[in-house]
């Protein structure tokens, strides 16, 4: 086996171990590679800021060249030698503005009916909920059939597991997974299902720091 291919297979194996060990219910196999990279970045680093080389290597392990997607997705920006992940506020156009007044620097159009990247769909849903409230968000979700969209649900579930619970994006994910939006999506989980998981991971991190 060529050394390059051996390295690729090793990266893929490590990635799968992380998913199996730390994410309940799996589901990442249903996701596009870009969404998977975002989720795994949070899982591995537990922060929106981390070393560029490590983030780049993680991407290669699942077949994503993060430099190639940087401009089109606005998913991350480089700050000194680090990657800074972008949240939905930095990526989704303002749905309350007329189209001609929206920023064309933000790649996610909340008026789109379908999304090729699952994270874009979830980020758009977070934006709609935050800007226009639960009732509008429910209609928006139903119009796009997200109640039967497995990648959408898997992304939302994964974010609830990997994001810190004091992070604004976790709170946005929580809002989508509670109350009437929870029912509209037909979710089989709630944010509280993952509270203990998050606490366990935090304790493991603290133990590692003191080892």
Structure tokens at 15: 């990635």
CA 148/CA 139 separation, integer angstroms: 14
CA 59/CA 54 separation, integer angstroms: 9
Q: Name the pTM for this structure.
A: 0.85
Domain locations along the chain: 3-87, 89-197
Q: Taking Cα atoms as reference points, which of 144, 147, 135, 143 lies closest to residue 179?
A: 135
What are 171-211's pLDDT values in tens digits? 999 999 999 999 999 999 999 888 765 455 554 444 344 44
CA 142/CA 20 separation, integer angstroms: 31
CA 48/CA 67 separation, integer angstroms: 17
pLDDT-derived band at 4, boundaries 50, 70, 90 = low
DSSP 8-class letter at 108: B
Stated length of the chain: 211
pLDDT-derived band at 35, boundaries 50, 70, 90 = very high
Give me Rg for the CA atoms of the chain: 17
Q: Percent of the chain, pLDDT > 90?
A: 72
Per-residue model confidence (pLDDT) at position 195: 74
Give me the residues paired with residue 78 across strands: 83
Return the HEC string of 129-169.
HHHHHHHHHHHHHHHCCHHHCHHHHHHHHHHHHHCCCCCHH
Ramachandran area for residue 83 (φ above 0: left; ψ -120 to 50: alpha; else beta): beta
Give me the residues paired with residue 77 across strands: 84
Per-residue model confidence (pLDDT) at position 194: 80
CA 18/CA 183 separation, integer angstroms: 30
pLDDT for 136 beyond 90: yes
Helix ranges (H only) for the chain are 3-22, 33-45, 52-61, 66-73, 118-143, 150-162, 168-176, 179-185, 195-210
Tokens 């051996």 found at: 6
Structure tokens at 111: 């008026």
């Amino acid at each position: 086996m060529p050394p390059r291919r051996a390295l690729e297979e090793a990266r893929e194996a490590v990635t799968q171990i992380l998913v199996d060990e730390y994410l309940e219910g799996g589901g990442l196999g249903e996701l596009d590679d870009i969404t998977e990279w975002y989720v795994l970045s949070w899982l591995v680093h537990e922060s929106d800021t981390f070393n560029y080389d490590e983030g780049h290597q993680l991407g290669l392990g699942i077949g994503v060249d993060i430099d190639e997607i940087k401009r089109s997705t606005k998913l991350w920006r480089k700050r000194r030698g680090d990657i800074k992940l972008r949240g939905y506020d930095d990526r989704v156009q303002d749905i309350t503005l007329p189209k001609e007044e929206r920023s064309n620097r933000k790649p996610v159009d909340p008026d789109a009916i379908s999304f090729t990247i699952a994270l874009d769909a979830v980020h758009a849903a977070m934006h709609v909920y935050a800007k226009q409230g639960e009732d509008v968000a429910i209609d928006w979700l139903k119009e796009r059939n997200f109640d039967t969209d497995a990648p959408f649900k898997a992304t939302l579930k994964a974010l609830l597991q990997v994001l810190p619970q004091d992070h604004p994006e976790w709170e946005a994910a929580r809002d989508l997974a509670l109350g009437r939006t929870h029912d509209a999506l037909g979710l089989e989980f709630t944010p509280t299902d993952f509270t203990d998981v998050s606490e366990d991971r935090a304790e493991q991190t603290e133990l590692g720091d003191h080892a």
